[in-house]
Structure 1
Amino acid sequence: MKKSILVLLVAAFSLTTLFQSCNEKIEKKTVSNEIAEAEASSNSTIDEKSQDPQQLTITNMHDAYKGETTAHFKYAAYSKKAAEEGHPEIALLFKAASGAKLIHANNHKVVLLRMGESIPEITPEFSVNTTAENLKEAIEGESYEFNTMYPNFIKDANAVGNYMAQISLTYAYKVEQKHRDFYIEALKALEAGTDNTLATVYYLCPTCGNTYATVAPARCEISMTDSKLFIKVTSS
């Protein structure tokens, strides 16, 4: 009889312990679920905000404006470095590209103003190395803009039907490929010691920044701007 009572007491204690353990696990799971749901809700809100097409285009235009403004000053510095190292033709190329970048930045600025945005003060951040290293950096930067950045920005602008943003971004996108190819050619010439054979004059379309070496067509192949309006870039 005593043995049976002892067995019952042990069983009761085990069940009580089991119930307590289960309750603690359920409470912990409930709290964890609540935290997870709260985090998911927060992330969902953040994602919804970040995916707002109109706001995304505004952010893109600010990024594009900052990038082009920085590149304008950076290429001007690269031009000075190339001249100091005795590569006047490469210095001229960077000078022309710097001018084109300023045209792109101004186009982006107009779009931002039309969208009611204020234009921030840009403090360019970059480093100047050897001419060869500067060319490699420029190739990498232009390749990223042409292959990744501008295609994505254009897609976002298309999604909200922002026609002016589409035009400004497309102008820059089409010119970046030409700049990349100019830089690739210049780097090969520099490494071969034949950079003195590169172009000694460039022409810039004032509308889109399209850049032509040595000669230019009657009209810009991107914006159809008359070549009479082109900006001539020389070493003088």
Structure 2
Amino acid sequence: MYKLLASNLIHRFVRACLIGILTTITVACYSTSKANKTTGAERFSSIYQSLSLVHFSPDYPAHPQAFSHCANNNKEGCFRVIERVKDAVSSLKVPGNEVALESTINGIVSYCINTESRNHPKVQLCEGALTSIYLFNDNDDDSALLNAFKKLSKEQNARIFDGNQEWYYNRKNVTPWIDHVKDVLEDSALELQLWRFSQKNVKPFGLMYLESSIPSGENLTY
């Protein structure tokens, strides 16, 4: 009888320990997963914040010659801005192209759409997300971007194409984009965007300065 009682007690003890261990592991895994998701979202937000400096920071060089000077002189304030942008470009696709593109699309929808005013905190994140499209220019990337933009209203698309962006000029196949803007833009906005997509010899600006060989061009687009 005593042996049976002892056996039952041991069985209950082991069972309780196992349940405790499994519960701890489950909670830890959930917490880690949640933390990773939060960290991932914050990570991309930080990247877009840095990429927005290309257009928002007065210290980002305004022409290739200034860029070359600043990139080689770490005593200049613009050097730190360039390094921050370079780090953002390098970090964007670390999780993989598909994840980075999905985050960029989600960021554009979240930060650019229905933003109350130009002074809204999300405006800078919107600019960074739009700027990052330059880094996604394969045909599959374009398909994913177009599919997402086609789901948005004309007013929302107008916000996406409101301003000059580097990515207008590095599309491998501009025809689908021309077809898209014809459906969502009107009047002077459409005319301007069609003109942008037609440019073949664009004077480099912004992220283009980070190319290993800065492209040459003569036509101003802004």
Pairwise TM-score range, normalised by the shorter structure:
0.3 to 0.5
Q: Which has the larger radius of gyration?
A: 1
Q: Report the TM-score when normalising by structure 2.
A: 0.37
Q: Report the TM-score when normalising by structure 1.
A: 0.35
